Amino acid sequence: MIFRRRKAAPPPTPSKDVDLRELARRTVARDTIELQTLVRSDAFGTVRARLADMSPYGCQARLAGTLWEQGERIFVLLPLVGEIEARIMWGLKGIFGCKFDNPIDADIYPTLLATIRTNCLDWPDEETLRSVSPFPNLKP
């Protein structure tokens, strides 16, 4: 499997009409990954998702049958990190992008990427599913 690092989109030129939050959007490169995981929301309960890319600040994921609203709060389960709270930034049919409420620590992030890329083909396993209490309604 080949992993690529996507280049960040260049930030827009500042003007009086540009929201400063948009300047910060996607200014960090994202890492291409493939991780089956769990995502929980108040509206839909717990669903399985496949993370496609990630940075310390957020991720993009694919899933079937769930369309979240922009700004909705979700919880993403990650190896080494556990459950991380995020907000939906955008969503299309079966794909969404979210921003973590608290970025993943810069010291942990490289280890997290290495773990995902080498050890997580069958993650979350039965033991993880049983031990993760925030996801009680998911059946293994």
pTM given for the model: 0.71
Establish if 43 belongs to a structural domain: yes
Give me the tens of pLDDT residue by residue for the chain, a chain 140 residues long: 444 555 554 444 444 444 545 544 556 788 999 999 999 998 888 888 999 999 999 999 998 776 788 899 999 999 999 999 999 998 888 889 999 999 999 999 999 999 998 876 666 767 766 665 454 444 44
Closest C-alpha to 56, from 22, 101, 123, 115: 101
Q: Which residue range(s) make up the domain with 26?
A: 20-126
Is residue 4 included in any domain, yes or no?
no
Q: What is the CATH number of the domain that holds 57?
A: 2.40.10.220
Residues in Cβ contact with 52 at an 8 Å cutoff, skipping those fewer than 6 apart = 32, 33, 34, 59, 60, 61, 62, 95
